[in-house]
Structure 1
């Protein structure tokens, strides 16, 4: 699964709450409201992926700005649809103030990460390579892998805190964790993780 597509899907099903989408939206602290172990697990999951969402957009914007700056410095007058798309994306990240717009930003970023260096001008292709543009998705994959591992640990802690009766009641999550632990392919783990949010009523 495409890394950014995973974030888009995670965002679209409501797994990233608007309350945790700072700095794009005002942050709200629900730590005093969500107090049960299950609610705290949900809160932790929200925060992990809201942080990842923000970092993806903010660091992505910085990456693209660096490419634009070098294009202006070394190739004055260079124009291309790609650079225009980069500039539009950066501008959008600065004015976003609606939760629904976050998904649109991710859509734009996914399209840009699919740019083919062979289909752009040689100077721009060189800049993309110099700035590690095509390595950014690999970087995101590492970040997601780390987030999934940390959430897996928190799910295990949650299950360990349950009584025998509570485990029986939450048997689907217990089974999910076993499958998740035994899956080592990151793409498959991302697919499995999307099932995790179904354990919570949004």
Structure 2
């Protein structure tokens, strides 16, 4: 019985560590990069209205430069209630502001995600991030990785060639009507103009 309890305890600890390693993320404002915040994602499915209302900041930005990976240490709590630290690689991506959709961020900031370089995050590509404010350090966190991290792309119906790939839509003739955003994690599509209209509607 004692061995079974010990085994169960180890399994619980392993599960907690694994969950933290895969679910922690932080976002730093470039003007305050020493104050990083490590947070857990909320992966429950939310409606578009809920996602907007849960977000203090919604920002359209472009990834520029080379990502930088460093080991970061985070504090978590085991099944016995005791705190312990874990160390995991975190990759920082430099983002440049394109448009504030809700709230305001600086023109340049960094977002860090657990793990080594994510090939789904492409240099020169635009993204729409859904963020909420932390109670500490004045930092922000992704409301959800599945719904809060979205790539900006040209509408499929507007493509001249269905096999053509778009890594950026930073062109003078790109309009809100001609683009959409796609979840990096789930590939779910959201109409960009409809999203902006919904944000304005809920902000009244």
Measured against the shorter chain, the TM-score band is: under 0.3
TM-score by length of 2: 0.23
More strand by proportion, 1 or 2?
2
Relative contact order higher in (CA < 8 Å, ≥ 6 apart)? 1
The structure in which a higher percent of residues are helix is: 1
